[in-house]
Amino acid sequence: MPGHYPLLTILIFLPLAGCLLLLPLWNRASIARPVAFGVAAVELALTGWLYASWQVLEGVPTKLPGYLLLEDAPWIPSFGIRYTLGLDGISLLMVMLTAFTFCVALAVSWNAIKERATLFLTLMLVMEAGIMGVFLALDLALFYLFWEIMLIPMFFLIGVWGHGRKIYSTIKFFLFTMFGSLLMLLAIIALHLLHAQQSGVATFGLPELMHTRLPFDTQLWLFAAFFLAFAIKFPLFPLHTWLPDAHTDAPTAGSVVLAGLLLKTGSYGLIRFGYPLFPLAAQALTPLFYTLALLGIFYASLVAFAQEDMKRLIAYSSIGHMGYVAIGIAAWEPVALSGSILQMANHGVTTGALFCMIGMLDERAHTRDIAAFGGLWGKIPLWSFFFLIFSLTSMGLPGLNSFVGEFLILAGTIHKSPLVVVLSFVGIILPLIYMVRLLQEVLFQQERQPLALADLDLREMAILAVLLLLNIWVGVHPAPLLDMIHLPVLLLTGGAP
Amino acid sequence: MTSGDLIALMPLLILTAGSVLCLLVGVLRPGKYLYAAAIIVVSSALLWSCALPAEAVLSGLSVTPFSRFSSAFLYGTGIIALLLAYSYNIRHGIVGEEYPATILFALTGMGAACAATDLLMLFLGLEAFTFAFYILVAIRRDSSRGGEAGLKYLLNGTLSAAILAMGMALVYADRGTLRLAELASASEGAHEPLFLAGCCLILLGMAFKLSLAPAHLWTADVYQGAPAPVTALLSTASKGASLAALLLLLPLFGAWHGLHDILWLVALLSMLAGNLAALVQNNLKRMLAWSSVGQMGYVALALVAAPAGGVRAAAFYLVAYAAAGLAAFGVVSVLPDEEERDTIEACRGLGYRNPLAGAVLAAAMFSLAGIPPTAGFMGKFTVFAAALRGGEITLALVGILSALVAVFFYLRVVVVLYMKPSALPVEPVHMPDVAEMIALLVPIVVVVLVGVYPQPLLELLEKILIRS
């Protein structure tokens, strides 16, 4: 049973240990690749083990209601910072997504990254550790530490292995995220001090800080700082401009991790920290949150329609999809929140798959220009088949995973705010327009440039098949995942508005 | 003087004797072995300060835990600077026994400044090491830039020394004593104009030593012109010793509110001036110089919040800054032909051509930028925690936003190191020798260890600051 081992610590530190394994393989990428993938696979197996036993774990109560596993140790007593990790259903889903996405990202970049491959693998493992930490930390200082650590590898990933204006993009990405995080750091410290004033206990622990009594305007300022940091990662409408650049110029693995995981840290942060810590402020800002989310959906979809670069198009569509996640969180109601959390995982799988596929096409054709392609259905049928399915998911076709998430979000929100739901129903049509245009131009139209393209090889097919199975499984039978997040979602929404 | 006092003072005696011997023996048998000897001398002084809990109170000097550990820290940076200097000086034709001897003399001054109990000894200590730096900065006689830097430092330095001396004289004229403890206990009541004028002059003099705005303008030129190992020492140990001296001076001001206002303004100006000016520098050493003005601004920010635990934050921040600064200037000193090509762009692809130097410089940049898991982040964390606890919300906000600006120019260096193709033709890379490797690795190990587990350092600082 997982409870007997410090499994959460292992999840974070195993990839770092893997980095040490890679050190002697600095010039031997052919050995380093399987080693790194092996580490990622062990991570995935560990999360699988956790998933297999979550019901057993739920039967064993921990100190915090709703949590399956907790680990706690003093770290910097001078400041009251503790090394507190906790796993509940939501974290478990995110941790599973993380382990899975890294396996996919490593597999998809198997042949794509030739230069300095071991450095690349090392950075990927460091990032995996950082993201695991973000999803598991329950101490705000610890959370902040991981939140920042995961940026550094991504900074290098885009800057070293990216294309185009990679330096501009990576600095933009870093500065945008730092801007939000630094203000959040001040807010975290301020919250800590206010709590210490009230209770005399210096702590950064989330469960304790949740009981801080804050006057409304203080709450508003602190929540604003948290919200800014998370909204940039999310990304919400006026703060999204880093994302298309970062996505377009990142290597495929970078895009997959960016879309699949880094954006999710924003929504996860809001669910885990933002709303529970500042319920009144969150409630007050809900209209703003709705507005930004809706604007994002419409704006991103319209901009996506105008894109010439396939990767940029998917990047914008990603902003639109995250808008639905935002609506579900803003509603702060069990059904909608479950939908949002499920949609976070779905979006990771679907958008990750689309980025993988565009990466595969780019490796063959050395362009991602929509105008360069046409008639791919006849030339590379396997690729086209997978691309069609994942595009349909992105449009929200029933039976595929996105539909479930979006349906739950809208079904839950309708009690709270019918107007928002009506508007977002309109927004659902928009992906249809730009995705159909994409499919029509790339897959079905007459060939526009003579390109000699090879169809998918076995490795690529295996990756996509796994992604597709997952996609359909969640689309048809989401109940196990929903059960897993049911209790934590109820606990979250019960305490807040 | 008892034998106990002698034991407590031994580190200072070792350094003084070492310095004099180095000069004498160097005349008879010049050679590179003097550097090794100097390193051994400093190491023994360091070990003595750390290991022997001997304490003594003499007139003018008292060896306390505070003085022992601050001077041990300064001796540590001295060892790193000597390790760097050894092959740097061979490469750049700096010969002669005066170099190690002067460094030993500077460290003696620093040790004395940390242990001072009256204004006179404090002044002597401060000026002793500043004097040593006048020589060290201009030690490359064939370098016009070095000469310029030396002259600038000398002129500014003597002016600041005069200001400091004038301030101390005014304080003495008003209070009739030089002893810090008596001055502090007399500072409880009302303050006379004469005393306050003295205090302001002292603060100005100290601002020069710490390169805090508005007394910071010498920094960039001097850092650029001085040999890199000297800059490494100047930007870390000299700042550390000055901060230690300032901490000794702080009780002097008592509850005078003007201190808070002056420091507030100084912190604001330093953070803004340093970080904004660093933004437009193309020369690596100048960029580091301006950024160090900004970094000192954070130290001042911590001192503004001194009643709310800011003193410990300031000391912690300085240690974190010094480790990263040593590493950064250490890399500058192993770069080839640093006189001509010390621009940031010249480091293109260094991360691959010289992996150790590149990684160390990148880690130093991340630490200076305050990104975890480095000491720099923990430093910013403690400083901002202290500032918020002290209620300095405006200053904290300015600080955090200027830290964002700083992230940009520190990242620029990382970008050049790893993300831009090497400039052609690729110049030969000087691979660091063993001494340089140690000098690069030790600070970076400190940066990471303190960044991951700062608790021991925090506890140590707590202990020595309370008892002092």
Q: What is the 3-state secondary structure (H, E, C) of B443-467?
A: HHHHHHHHHHCCHHHHHHHHHHHHH
Query: A340: distance to nearest CA of chain B, Å?
Result: 30
Using omega within 30 degrees of 0 as the cis cutoff, is the peptide bond preceding A235 cis?
A: yes
- Pairing mode, strands B56-57 and A81-88: unpaired
**Would an 8 Å CB–CB cutoff place B458 in contact with chain A?**
yes
Compute the C-alpha angle A75/A77/A83, nearest 5°.
25
Q: Measured between alpha carbons, how far is B127 from B325 in angstroms, rounded to an integer?
A: 23
For residue range A31-89, what is the model confidence (pLDDT) as tens digits? 999 999 999 999 999 999 999 988 888 888 888 888 999 999 999 999 999 999 999 99
Please judge whether B419 and A167 are an interchain contact, meaning their C-beta atoms are less than 8 angstroms apart.
Answer: yes
Please judge whether B382 and A151 are an interchain contact, meaning their C-beta atoms are less than 8 angstroms apart.
Answer: no
Q: Measured between alpha carbons, how far is B301 from B389 in angstroms, rounded to an integer?
A: 12
CB under 8 A, 24+ apart: contacts of A207-212: A207/A64, A207/A138, A209/A140, A209/A277, A210/A276, A210/A277, A210/A495, A212/A277
CB under 8 A, 24+ apart: contacts of A377-381: A377/A443, A377/A444, A379/A447, A379/A451, A379/A453, A379/A455, A380/A453, A380/A454, A380/A455, A380/A456, A381/A455
Residue of A169, A176, A182 to mutate, interface with B, max B Cβ within 10 Å: A182
Q: Measured between alpha carbons, how far is B82 from A171 in angstroms, rounded to an integer?
A: 36
Closest CA to A390 of A414, A355, A425: A355
- pLDDT higher than threshold 50 for residue A435: yes
- From the list A78, A151, A185, the residue facing B462 with the nearest CB is A78
Compute the C-alpha angle B285/B273/B413, nearest 5°.
35
Please judge whether A78 and B458 are an interchain contact, meaning their C-beta atoms are less than 8 angstroms apart.
Answer: yes
- From the list B352, B372, B385, the residue facing A148 with the nearest CB is B372
CB burial string B207-221: b at 16+ within 10 A, e below: bbbbbbbebbbbbbb
Nearest CA in chain B to A186: B384
Q: Is A70 helix (H, G, I), strand (E, B) or coil?
A: strand
- From the list A148, A160, A179, the residue facing B419 with the nearest CB is A160
Q: Is the dihedral of CA B333, B335, B337, B342 positive or negative?
A: negative
For residue range A242-290, what is the model confidence (pLDDT) as tens digits? 999 999 999 999 999 999 899 999 999 999 999 999 999 999 999 999 9
Length of chain B: 468
Residue B49, C-beta contacts closer than 8 angstroms, at least 6 positions apart: B11, B68, B69, B71, B72, B75, B111
CB burial string A58-79: b at 16+ within 10 A, e below: beeebebebbbbbbeeebbebb
**To the nearest whole percent, how much of chain B has pLDDT over 70?**
96
Q: Is A76 helix (H, G, I), strand (E, B) or coil?
A: strand
**Would an 8 Å CB–CB cutoff place B130 in contact with chain A?**
no
The residues with which A73 forms a beta bridge, in sequence order, are A83
Please judge whether B372 and A149 are an interchain contact, meaning their C-beta atoms are less than 8 angstroms apart.
Answer: yes
Residue of B414, B448, B463, B466 to mutate, interface with A, max A Cβ within 10 Å: B414
- Pairing mode, strands B62-63 and A67-76: unpaired
Q: Tokens 């300064």 sit at which residue?
A: B74
Q: Measured between alpha carbons, how far is A427 from A168 in angstroms, rounded to an integer?
A: 31
The residues with which A88 forms a beta bridge, in sequence order, are A67
Using omega within 30 degrees of 0 as the cis cutoff, is the peptide bond preceding A276 cis?
A: no
Closest CA to A405 of A289, A471, A303, A325: A325
Number of C-beta neighbours around residue B279 at 10 A = 15
Q: Measured between alpha carbons, how far is B288 from B285 in angstroms, rounded to an integer?
A: 5
Using omega within 30 degrees of 0 as the cis cutoff, is the peptide bond preceding B425 cis?
A: yes
Q: What's residue A52's pLDDT?
A: 92
For residue range A355-378, what is the model confidence (pLDDT) as tens digits? 999 999 998 888 888 888 888 888
Please judge whether B382 and A79 are an interchain contact, meaning their C-beta atoms are less than 8 angstroms apart.
Answer: yes
Closest CA to B418 of B464, B359, B342: B359
Number of C-beta neighbours around residue A366 at 10 A = 9
Joined together, the tokens standing for residue A479 give 């109940």
Q: What's residue A497's pLDDT?
A: 39
Residue B402, C-beta contacts closer than 8 angstroms, at least 6 positions apart: B271, B272, B275, B276, B294, B297
| Residues A156/A159/A163/A166 CA torsion (nearest 10 deg) | 140
pLDDT (tens, 9 = 90+) of chain B, 468 residues, equals 788 888 888 999 999 999 999 999 988 988 888 999 999 999 999 999 988 877 788 888 888 889 999 999 999 999 999 999 998 988 888 888 889 999 999 999 999 999 999 999 999 999 999 999 999 999 988 888 888 999 999 999 999 999 999 999 999 998 888 888 888 887 666 678 888 899 999 999 999 999 998 899 999 999 999 999 999 999 999 999 999 999 999 888 877 788 889 999 999 999 999 999 999 999 999 999 999 999 999 999 999 998 888 899 999 999 999 999 999 999 998 887 655 567 888 888 888 888 899 999 999 999 999 998 999 999 999 999 999 999 999 999 999 999 999 999 999 999 999 988 876 555 666 678 899 999 999 999 999 999 999 999 999 999 888 755
Q: Measured between alpha carbons, how far is B361 from B440 in angstroms, rounded to an integer?
A: 9
Q: CA A275: distance to chain centroid?
A: 18
What phi, psi does B142 have (nearest 5°)?
-85, -5
Phi-psi region of A407 (alpha: psi -120 to 50; beta: other; left: phi over 0): alpha
Q: Measured between alpha carbons, how far is B206 from B299 in angstroms, rounded to an integer?
A: 13
- From the list B396, B418, B453, the residue facing A156 with the nearest CB is B418
Is residue A155 within 8 A of residue A62, CB to CB? The reply is no
Q: Which residues of B fall within a CB distance of 8 Å from A160? A: 418-419
Q: What's residue A496's pLDDT?
A: 43
Query: A159: distance to nearest CA of chain B, Å?
Result: 6
Query: A192: distance to nearest CA of chain B, Å?
Result: 9
Q: Is B56 helix (H, G, I), strand (E, B) or coil?
A: strand
Using omega within 30 degrees of 0 as the cis cutoff, is the peptide bond preceding B30 cis?
A: no
Please judge whether A182 and B404 are an interchain contact, meaning their C-beta atoms are less than 8 angstroms apart.
Answer: yes
ipTM confidence score: 0.92
CB under 8 A, 24+ apart: contacts of A427-430: A427/A294, A427/A297, A427/A298, A427/A301, A427/A320, A427/A323, A428/A396, A430/A297, A430/A298, A430/A301, A430/A302, A430/A305, A430/A320
Q: Is A68 helix (H, G, I), strand (E, B) or coil?
A: strand
Please judge whether A145 and B377 are an interchain contact, meaning their C-beta atoms are less than 8 angstroms apart.
Answer: yes
Q: Tokens 């993300």 sit at which residue?
A: B419
Closest CA to A15 of A145, A133, A141: A133
Q: Tokens 């690749």 sit at which residue?
A: A33
Query: B459: distance to nearest CA of chain A, Å?
Result: 7
Residue of A12, A185, A228 to mutate, interface with B, max B Cβ within 10 Å: A185
For residue range A408-430, what is the model confidence (pLDDT) as tens digits? 999 999 988 899 999 988 888 88
Q: Measured between alpha carbons, how far is A421 from A89 in angstroms, rounded to an integer?
A: 27
Query: B127: distance to nearest CA of chain A, Å?
Result: 36
Number of alpha helices (DSSP H) and beta strands (DSSP E) in chain B: 19, 2
Query: A157: distance to nearest CA of chain B, Å?
Result: 10
Number of C-beta neighbours around residue B27 at 10 A = 10
Please judge whether B454 and A76 are an interchain contact, meaning their C-beta atoms are less than 8 angstroms apart.
Answer: yes
Is residue A355 within 8 A of residue A311, CB to CB? The reply is yes
**Would an 8 Å CB–CB cutoff place B279 in contact with chain A?**
no
Window 361-400 of B: residues touching A by CB (8 A cutoff) are 366, 371-373, 377, 380-382, 384-385, 388-389, 396-397, 400
Q: Is B283 helix (H, G, I), strand (E, B) or coil?
A: strand
Number of alpha helices (DSSP H) and beta strands (DSSP E) in chain A: 23, 2
Joined together, the tokens standing for residue B223 give 């850092």
Amino acid at A320: G
Q: Measured between alpha carbons, how far is B357 from B403 in angstroms, rounded to an integer?
A: 25
DSSP run (H or E) holding B425: none
For residue range B50-89, what is the model confidence (pLDDT) as tens digits? 888 777 888 888 888 899 999 999 999 999 999 999 989 8
Please judge whether B388 and A149 are an interchain contact, meaning their C-beta atoms are less than 8 angstroms apart.
Answer: no
Which residues on chain A place their C-beta less than 8 Å from a C-beta of chain B?
Answer: 75-79, 116, 141, 144-145, 148-149, 151-152, 155-156, 159-160, 166-167, 170-171, 174-175, 178-179, 182-183, 185-186, 189-190, 192-193
- Pairing mode, strands B56-57 and B62-63: antiparallel
Is residue B313 within 8 A of residue B396, CB to CB? The reply is no
Q: CA B453: distance to chain centroid?
A: 23
Query: B235: distance to nearest CA of chain A, Å?
Result: 26
In order of B116, B230, B341, B343, the CA distances from B87 in angstroms are: 35, 13, 19, 21
Please judge whether A193 and B385 are an interchain contact, meaning their C-beta atoms are less than 8 angstroms apart.
Answer: yes
- From the list A116, A159, A186, the residue facing B384 with the nearest CB is A186
Compute the C-alpha angle B391/B392/B394, nearest 5°.
130
Q: Measured between alpha carbons, how far is A80 from B2 in angstroms, rounded to an integer?
A: 44
| Residues B261/B266/B267/B268 CA torsion (nearest 10 deg) | 90
Which one is predicted more confidently, A403 or B185?
Answer: A403
**Would an 8 Å CB–CB cutoff place B420 in contact with chain A?**
yes
Residue B121, C-beta contacts closer than 8 angstroms, at least 6 positions apart: B60, B61, B112, B115
Q: Measured between alpha carbons, how far is B200 from B256 in angstroms, rounded to an integer?
A: 11
